[in-house]
Each structure stands twice: as C-alpha cells, then as structure tokens.
Amino acid sequence: NIAMAAQMTDAHRRFLQVLMSHGIMEGSEARKLHRRCCEIHKVYYAHDKLDDFISTINSHLQPLFMQIRKGMSEVDGRAHYALVNLAETEITKMASDYAENELELFRKTMDLIISSENGFASSTDILNLADQLKTKKMKKKEAEQVLKVFVEDKWLSERNGEYTLHTRCIIEMEQYILSNYQDVARKCNICHSLAIQSQVCESCGIGMHLPCVRKYFRAQTEPRCPQCNDFWSCDIP
C-alpha cells in the first residue's frame, strides 16, 4: 500500500540509481552503498536496516512492476541484491538486447546447464549448438563472441571453459526456471531457493547448494542426508 509506505528520500533514489547501473550488487557493497547514500543525503542510517531500506524502495517500485530481490551466490553463499523486472517474463526481458538467434543460443545453453549433473555446460557443447539453431545458424566464432557478451551482461558465468548461470540470472529467472524445467530444476533442501550448482543425494535425490552443504555438515562427524539420513557420499566442499 503506497499510502502507508515509508517515504522515499533522495538516499533511496540514489541507492536505486546505483543498483540500476550495476544490475546486481554483492551484499557488502550494498551495505556500503546504503551507508554512503544516507550520509550524503543526511538521512537516518542504521547498519542493520538495509532490508527495511530496500523494502521502502520496493513499495514504490511495485506499480512499475519492478523489485529489488535478494539472492545468494552459489559459489560462496554470499548475499546479492538485483533489480528485477516483474512485468515481463524471463527471457522476454532479454529480447530487446539480443537478436533472436542469440536468445535461442541462450535458451539452449540454459537447457544444457540445468539438465547437467553439476550445473555447468562446456564451451564445446555450447558451440556445437551454434550451427543447429532454428532461427539463424551461427558460426563458432560468432557464438564465442555472443557467449562473451552473456558473461559481460551477467547472464552467464565462465570458469575454465565451463559455463553456468550467473547469480543475477538465477535471481531474475528463478520462477521461470522452476516452472519451465519442473522435471530437472530442483530447490536446495536447506535454503529452499533454486539450486543450479548443487550436490545430490544418491539415495533420495534431494539437492543442496555447495555453500549450504558446507554449512550444514560443518558440525557433523558423519555427513548424513537431511532428508533420508543415508550417508552423504559426495565430497564435502
């Protein structure tokens, strides 16, 4: 309810502008930005009130179908904040930035990543798709360039020739992925958000993010599945 929402100040507006220009921001950066915005505009600042500060912005973004969402890096478990467009669904919001065959390559890359065991797809496998595109075939050199752009735009992350979904992509597209990949997409058994890079229990098939695995088993002498209590056979990261 906008009438009841806390007032947007210039500190909130500055925070939103900076986040918009970044697209996504790591938690510690967001906390620094929160403090800086409050100091510049001489607005009351409390170090533990970032989420309240953001929910004020969100209440004013609601009519614009936008929202600042909090998510987690699957690599190190750190919180991230991303500005998400709720009006358009998933890949349609990428449509204004990319050609049709680039979007098709992205979709096919996403298919590979989500249906893989470890949440990664190799550049070789992705590039092999380039000349199978229905919209318009791509040369491998072109496809390499497009993948580079997807990494720069924070839709994909790359490590040693292996690609996975960027934290920004997971925050933005979580709902889309869960509803369009119902057979293969899984939620983490610990934090209940979408898990792309995860370990899976061999007995019951539940998945857990690597940072959640690390945290969950830290205190246990013998790692056992939180769901079925069988021995956890994956190496604890």
The answer to whether the CB of 86 falls within 8 A of the CB of 30 is no
Same-domain status, 163 and 195 = no
Instruction: Give strand pairing partners of 204.
Output: none
Mean of pLDDT over the chain: 91
Residue 158 dihedral angles phi and psi, to the nearest 5°: -125, 140
Q: What is the extent of the structural domain holding 99?
A: 91-179
Q: Report the pLDDT value the prediction gives residue 237, as an integer from 0 to 100.
A: 81
Tell me the mean pLDDT in the region 64-88: 90
Tell me the mean pLDDT in the region 182-203: 92
Same-domain status, 55 and 34 = yes
The answer to whether the CB of 153 falls within 8 A of the CB of 147 is no
Whether 86 is in a domain gets the answer no
Residue bearing tokens 């065991």:
117
Check pLDDT > 50 for residue 119.
yes
Q: How confident is the model at residue 5 (pLDDT cuts 50, 70, 90)?
A: low
Tell me the mean pLDDT in the region 137-144: 94
Tell me the mean pLDDT in the region 134-144: 94
Q: Which domain-ending residue is among 135, 156, 179?
A: 179
Tell me the mean pLDDT in the region 85-113: 85
Alpha-carbon separation of residue 4 from 62, 74, 162 (angstroms): 13, 36, 48
Q: Report the pLDDT value the prediction gives residue 94, as an integer from 0 to 100.
A: 80
Beta strand 121-122 pairing with 162-165:
antiparallel
- CATH number for the domain including 201? 3.30.40.10
Tell me the mean pLDDT in the region 83-110: 84
Task: Give the range among 22-26, 87-91, 115-119, 150-154 with minimum mean pLDDT.
Answer: 87-91
Same-domain status, 190 and 160 = no
The answer to whether the CB of 85 falls within 8 A of the CB of 65 is yes
Q: How confident is the model at residue 1 (pLDDT cuts 50, 70, 90)?
A: very low
Same-domain status, 168 and 196 = no
C-alpha radius of gyration, the chain, whole number:
20
If you count DSSP H runs as helices and E runs as strands, how many of each does the chain have, helices first?
A: 8, 10
The answer to whether the CB of 126 falls within 8 A of the CB of 143 is yes
Whether 215 is in a domain gets the answer yes
Whether 5 is in a domain gets the answer no
State how far the Cα of 71 lies from the Cα of 80, in Å rounded to an integer.
5
Same-domain status, 223 and 149 = no
- CATH number for the domain including 150? 1.10.10.10
Whether 71 is in a domain gets the answer no
How many percent of the chain have pLDDT more than 70? 95
Whether 69 is in a domain gets the answer no
Instruction: Give strand pairing partners of 224.
Output: 231
Number of structural domains (the chain) is 3
Q: How confident is the model at residue 135 (pLDDT cuts 50, 70, 90)?
A: very high
Tell me the mean pLDDT in the region 73-79: 93
Residues 6+ away with beta carbon under 8 Å from 128? none
Same-domain status, 192 and 154 = no
Q: Report the pLDDT value the prediction gives residue 88, as an integer from 0 to 100.
A: 62
Whether 1 is in a domain gets the answer no
- CATH number for the domain including 37? 3.90.1150.220
The answer to whether the CB of 74 falls within 8 A of the CB of 22 is no
Q: Report the pLDDT value the prediction gives residue 226, as an integer from 0 to 100.
A: 93
Q: Which domain-ending residue is among 132, 158, 179?
A: 179
Check pLDDT > 70 for residue 158.
yes
pLDDT digits (tens, 9 = 90+) for 37-54: 999 999 999 999 999 999
Same-domain status, 163 and 199 = no
Residues 6+ away with beta carbon under 8 Å from 103? 91, 94, 95, 135
The answer to whether the CB of 155 falls within 8 A of the CB of 91 is no
pLDDT digits (tens, 9 = 90+) for 206-234: 999 999 999 999 988 899 999 999 999 88
State how far the Cα of 120 lies from the Cα of 117, in Å rounded to an integer.
8
